[in-house]
Amino acid sequence: MESYHIFNARIVNESRIFEGEVFISGGLIKKINEGKNSKTPAGYTAIDAKGQYLLPGVIDDQVHFRQPGMEEKATIYSESRAAVAGGVTSYMEMPNTKPPTLTQDLLEDKYKIASKDSLANYSFYMGVSNDNIEEVLKTPLDTVCGVKIFLGSSTGNLLVDNPKTIEQLFAETPHIVAAHCEDDEIIRRNAESFKDFFGDEISASVHPSIRSAEACFKSSSYAVALARKKKTRLHVFHVSTAKELELFDAGMPLEKKRITAEVCVHHLWFTNDYYRTHDNLVKWNPAIKTAEDRKALREGLKAGLLDVIATDHAPHLLAEKMKPYFDAPSGGPMVQHSLQAMIAMSESGLWSLADVVKYMCHNPAILFNVSRRGFIREGYYADLVLVDTSKKYKITKSNILYKCGWSPLEGETLPSTIAKTFVNGHLVWDNGKIVGTKVGKRLGFERD
């Protein structure tokens, strides 16, 4: 088992930045010393951080790694490789694979793949359909992150539109219900209207008009109202509009919230102006919307209305994204550059580096009750990231590790570089190279 002594580090943890050292052994953080650099003990590998920032590993609560069934787009190995290259040490993956994850046996099949192939720690959502509610209610609390319900259709065919199923789920499951909220009727009506007027030759600039703010709010407000009525533990994924923010509460400790919300990096970075230059490459569900919406999301995050940042990492082949608008799938790869993008926004004054760690590391751990991860604490798993803010990083085809081989951020120069990533005490990413083996572990959850 590897042992490391990281010294001369600027440790970012629990709203503080301080100089110090960390000792790693047996996969755990054994000792943290503030303002001190000790002699490296026998058997430990010395790592001089040289003033780099040491962060907890990022926990991404929403990714699509496409395996099983869509391995031409991505695999658990390829995307976990990209994740650790970007400082993401744990992920929670979606059920809209092929076949969709709608039984406990299919859920465990994904865990078996990850146990052999994943470089990062992993959990998988149980999927909900109109007719598998009894299977969903069998989902264990301590070894599965949550259950995922599509209240609006997206990639795959997992739309749940049976009111009885939705109400039973919200009333009976003790799990976190993670919801994709867009109203399908509004979306269909909008799409038909644009097709009637423009035909099929249309650009992605119509996407936020078809998958509109109205569609988002109608679905999100329905989910929140039902969750309040049934006392459901609800987590609303990828909030994309200013209006939705009025549905959530600020000023309450995260661990006491029953209804929480996520915002994605692309909704914080892009605006609808990017459709002119990026077209389908920035086609996501929910859609990227206006500059005013982006401003409100950024402010909502700082105000505590939004609780965590994720990627909704969703790779597709570039050839698919080059199809006409109505044929091109929604989603894009983001997990390799999410932390660097958030640090870039921090350097523009939107939030501090300590805030980035709160939104991407601490809060996901608290929200999902993740066992011994998300913080730099003695006795916790050594999921750690060294970030070099003195070295810029340009995203090019040659350094993109997604299997699909492209990024909507290609060509951007970000103000920091991920120098090293540790997963369970193993060095897996080191100055531009994968150096570790498949060392990810199944996430555990401390829940009643």
Q: Identify the pLDDT of residue 16.
A: 97
In the structure encoding, which two tokens stand for residue 10, read together?
């600027």
pLDDT tens-place string over residues 304-359: 999 999 999 999 999 999 999 999 999 999 999 999 999 999 988 999 999 999 99
Q: Is the pLDDT of residue 156 over 80?
A: no
What distance, in Å, lies between the first and last C-alpha atoms of the chain? 33
Closest to 326 (Cα-Cα) out of 195, 142, 182, 140: 195
Question: Which residues have CB under 8 Å from 132's CB, separation 6+?
Answer: 102, 103
Tell me phi and psi for residue 138, to 5 degrees. Answer: -85, -5
pLDDT band at 403 (very low <50, low <70, confident <90, very high): very high
Q: Identify the pLDDT of residue 170.
A: 98
Q: Identify the pLDDT of residue 436.
A: 84
Q: How many helices (H) and strands (E) does the chain have?
A: 14, 20
Give the Cα separation of 91 and 60 in Å (integer). 5
pLDDT band at 26 (very low <50, low <70, confident <90, very high): very high
Q: Is the pLDDT of residue 157 over 80?
A: no
Mean predicted confidence (pLDDT) in 394-412 = 98
Q: Which amino acid is located at 212 in the chain? A: S
pLDDT tens-place string over residues 68-116: 999 999 999 999 999 999 999 999 999 999 999 999 999 999 999 999 9
Q: Identify the pLDDT of residue 36.
A: 85
Give the Cα separation of 126 and 108 in Å (integer). 10
Domains of the chain: 4-55+376-400+414-434 (2.30.40.10), 57-367 (3.20.20.140)
pLDDT tens-place string over residues 183-217: 999 999 999 999 888 877 899 999 999 999 999 99
Q: Are 331 and 285 in contact (CB under 8 A)?
A: yes
Q: Identify the pLDDT of residue 438.
A: 81
Give the Cα separation of 291 and 422 in Å (integer). 36
Q: Identify the pLDDT of residue 158.
A: 80
Segment holding 136, helix H or strand E:
helix 133-136
pLDDT tens-place string over residues 246-262: 999 998 999 999 999 99
Give the Cα separation of 101 and 227 in Å (integer). 23
Question: Which residues have CB under 8 Å from 64's CB, separation 6+?
Answer: 74, 93, 94, 96, 155, 312, 313, 314, 315, 331
The whole-model pTM stands at 0.97
Q: Are 183 and 154 in contact (CB under 8 A)?
A: no
